[in-house]
Amino acid sequence: MKEYFITFRSITMAQRGQSVLKSGGIPALLSRTPRWMEEKGCGYSLRLPPGHEGAAVERLREGGIPFSKLYLRREGGDIEELKP
């Protein structure tokens, strides 16, 4: 199953992001960023199911919540950085 990751530089911003998304009805699971992303300095991320990534990015921007990057992990495990 593919999934999306939105990364944050701090747990505080990730928690605020999760709250903003939740209030908008967007499911997001807060977790430590997988090791393959940690090297880029992003310690926490929100994991999103497919179909919610566009609304999530828009909602975070509207809420003034800064995030680092948006990634897609495909079913085969390939990772792609997306431009939000």
Q: Which residues of the chain have pLDDT under 50?
A: none
DSSP secondary structure letters along 12-81: HHHHHHHHHHHHTT---EEEEPPHHHHTTT--EEEEE-TT-HHHHHHHHHHTT-----EEEE-TTS-EEE
Q: What is residue 26's predicted lDDT score, i.e. its pLDDT?
A: 96
Token reading at 18: 């999760």
Q: What is residue 40's predicted lDDT score, i.e. its pLDDT?
A: 55
Q: What is residue 41's predicted lDDT score, i.e. its pLDDT?
A: 58
Is residue 43 a contact partner of residue 10, using CB atoms and an 8 Å limit? yes
Whole-model pTM: value is: 0.88
